[in-house]
């Protein structure tokens, strides 16, 4: 609006300072002519007030100097009118009017100039702030890019570490067993210690399975990352999904108690049940690894706002520090503390939660970590749309989800 007014040529002429002089003179002349024309009905005080209004108008519009000119002209014309009226006597009235007009002209002119200056300053200030803001944003973006580059470098290193560790360890076991047994065959052919062979071969099979799980995880992550996760959605109940996840997790859930709370009349969901089971399995697996024996892991399913189902898995373990809550979902990320390892508990390979996140997001959902009950333990919460359709882009989804809703 402001800009369009300024760019209009007519308003620009009116706004120029010089325009104030002729306009002021014209206005005073108009008042004088009007007064002379209707001298019988017009009181000189009214004329004085009219002149005052003119001066005030000129002063606010064009500043003190045009107003002073209008004042001078106004005094002359008022003198002329007075003489014509011949009622108000002497020059005293003139001087009074002159003084009043002068004061008005200067004060109003100054005030108006001050106001204009302030406006200009404010506009300039606003521009400066905008510029600062954009510079700041640019530098933030640069910092983010540097951070992202650093992150991706870290990711590459951790990828290499994870791959070397998770592939080489089982491979080392397998090769050690194979060479051991091969040597046995060479040295004492025909003499097989069945128990010894059985024991070593059992380790080999377990290690081969571990290798296989790792490779499967890599493939799944690759599919998620390239957006090629093929979801076979079916309508199914949340209870069934949770139950089959717990069945699958049977071997790892013996140390803790499991408490499942599913809200009554929860609608069926249209999801890929195998993948959903995998999400719950991955979270449960984590919960059992990082929480003490004989504690309770709670799995709850509730209806959430916006046609969503919310599933939360809460343990009574050590919890996840705020600063790594996003990072635990990165592939191959493992918490810097090696507590689990020191305590002789199995450690993960840093893929479960990354895969879980990929699956939930492929369903148009969202996953995050929160404090457990009373700030103790870990609570992994994910929501998926009941229809299984992507509601919007994940970014918009995130801002639409009120943060306090899960508290």
Partner 1 sequence: MTDLRRILVVDDEPQIRLILHRALAKQGYEVVTADDGATALETFRIWPPDLVVTDLSMPGMNGLELCRQLSAISDVPIIVLTVKGEEHIKVEALDAGADDYVTKPFGMDELLARFRALLRRASVPAEHVDSSIETGDFHIDLDCRSVLVGGREVRLTPKEFDLLVYFVRNPAKVLTHRALIKAVWGGSVDQTESLRFFVAQLRKKIEPEPATPRYILTEPWIGYRFNSGF
**Among 320, 354, 349, which Cα is nearest to 337's?**
320
DSSP string, 226-254: TT------EEE-HHHHHHHHHHHTGGG-S
Rg of the chain in Å (alpha carbons) = 42
The answer to whether 156 contacts partner 1 (rule: CB under 8 A) is no
Minimal distance, residue 163 CB to partner 1, in Å = 11
Stretch near partner 1 under the rule CB under 8 A, chosen from 85-93, 201-209, 272-280, 327-335: 201-209
Q: Does 153 bind partner 1 (CB under 8 A)?
A: no
**CB 396 to partner 1: min, Å:** 43
The reply on whether position 209 binds partner 1 by CB under 8 A is no
Which residue number, 207 or 361, has a Cβ lying nearer to partner 1? 207
CA 356 vs CA 158, 318, 330, 336, 385: distances in Å: 19, 21, 10, 21, 15
By the rule CB under 8 A, 207 interacts with partner 1: yes
176 scored as a contact of partner 1 (CB under 8 A): yes
Range in contact with partner 1 (rule: CB under 8 A) among 177-185, 275-283, 317-325, 385-393: 177-185
**CA 206 to chain CA centroid, nearest Å:** 45
Angle at CA 303, nearest 5°, toward 262 and 260? 15
Q: Is 45 in the site for partner 1 (CB under 8 A)?
A: no
Q: Measure the CA–CA gap between 310 and 300, rounded to whole angstroms.
A: 8
Kindly report the number of other CB atoms within 10 A of residue 131's CB atom: 10
Identify which of residues 184 and 371 has a Cβ nearer to partner 1 in the complex: 184
Binding-residue pattern over the window 331 to 350 for partner 1, x denoting contact by CB under 8 A: -------x--xx-x------
Instruction: Give the interface segment with partner 1, choosing from 70-78, 200-208, 272-280, 281-289 (CB under 8 A).
Output: 200-208
Stretch that binds partner 1, among 90-98, 162-170, 218-226, 300-308 (CB under 8 A): 162-170
342-368 as b/e, with b when 16 or more CB fall inside 10 Å?
A: eeeeeebbbbbbbbbbbbbbbbbbbbb
CB closer to partner 1 out of 139 and 337: 337
Please report how close the Cβ of residue 345 comes to partner 1 at its closest, in angstroms: 11
Q: Which of 196, 239, 247, 321 lies at the binding interface for partner 1 (CB under 8 A)?
A: 196
Minimum CB separation from partner 1 for residue 318, in Å?
17
Q: What share of the chain is helix, strand, coil (3-state, %, to 5)?
A: 65, 10, 25
The reply to whether 203 sits near partner 1 by the rule CB under 8 A is yes
Query: In the complex with partner 1, which residue's Cβ is closer, 43 or 339?
Result: 339
Residues of span 102-141 touching partner 1 by CB under 8 A: none
Enclosing H/E stretch for 309: strand 308-314
Query: How far apart, in whole angstroms, are the C-alpha atoms of residue 249 and residue 378?
Result: 19
Taking alpha carbons only, the member of 20, 42, 21 closest to residue 31 is: 42
Only segment of 86-94, 191-199, 280-288, 306-314 that touches partner 1 (CB under 8 A): 191-199
Give me the residues that bind partner 1 (CB under 8 A), please. Answer: 164, 168-177, 179-180, 183-184, 193, 196, 199-200, 203, 206-207, 338, 341-342, 344
């Amino acid at each position: 609006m402001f800009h369009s007014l300024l760019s209009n040529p007519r308003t620009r002429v009116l706004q120029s300072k010089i325009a104030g002089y002729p306009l002021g003179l014209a206005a005073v002349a108009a008042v004088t002519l009007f007064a002379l024309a209707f001298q019988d009905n017009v009181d000189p005080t009214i004329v004085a007030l009219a002149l005052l209004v003119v001066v005030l108008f000129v002063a606010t519009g064009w500043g003190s100097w045009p107003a002073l000119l209008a004042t001078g002209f106004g005094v002359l014309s008022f003198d002329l009118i007075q003489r014509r009226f011949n009622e108000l006597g002497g020059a005293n009235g003139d001087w009074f009017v002159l003084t009043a007009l002068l004061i008005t002209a200067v004060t109003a002119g100054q005030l108006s100039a001050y106001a204009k200056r302030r406006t200009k300053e404010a506009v300039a200030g606003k521009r400066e702030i905008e510029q600062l803001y954009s510079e700041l944003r640019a530098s933030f973006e640069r910092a983010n890019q540097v951070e992202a580059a650093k992150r991706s470098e870290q990711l590459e290193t951790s990828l290499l570490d994870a791959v070397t560790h998770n592939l080489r360890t089982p491979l080392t076991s397998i090769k050690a067993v194979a060479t051991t047994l091969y040597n046995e065959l060479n040295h004492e052919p025909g003499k097989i210690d069945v128990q010894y062979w059985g024991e070593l071969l059992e380790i080999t099979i377990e290690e081969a399975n571990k290798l296989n799980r790792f490779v499967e995880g890599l493939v799944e992550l690759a599919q998620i990352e390239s957006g090629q996760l093929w979801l076979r959605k079916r309508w199914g109940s949340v209870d069934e999904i949770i139950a089959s996840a717990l069945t699958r997790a049977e071997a790892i859930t013996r140390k803790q108690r499991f408490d499942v709370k599913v809200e009554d009349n929860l609608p069926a969901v249209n999801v890929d049940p195998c993948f959903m089971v995998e999400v719950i399995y991955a979270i449960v697996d984590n919960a059992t690894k990082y929480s003490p024996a004989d504690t309770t892991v709670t799995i709850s399913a509730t209806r959430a706002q916006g046609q969503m189902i919310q599933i939360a898995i809460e343990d009574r373990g050590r919890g996840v520090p705020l600063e790594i809550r996003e990072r635990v979902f990165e592939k191959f990320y493992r918490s810097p503390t090696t507590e689990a390892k020191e305590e002789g508990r199995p450690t993960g390979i840093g893929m479960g939660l990354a895969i879980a996140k990929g699956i939930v997001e492929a369903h148009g959902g969202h996953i995050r970590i929160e404090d457990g009950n009373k700030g103790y333990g870990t609570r992994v919460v994910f929501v998926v749309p009941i229809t299984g359709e992507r509601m919007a882009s994940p970014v918009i989804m995130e801002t639409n989800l009120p943060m306090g809703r899960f508290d």
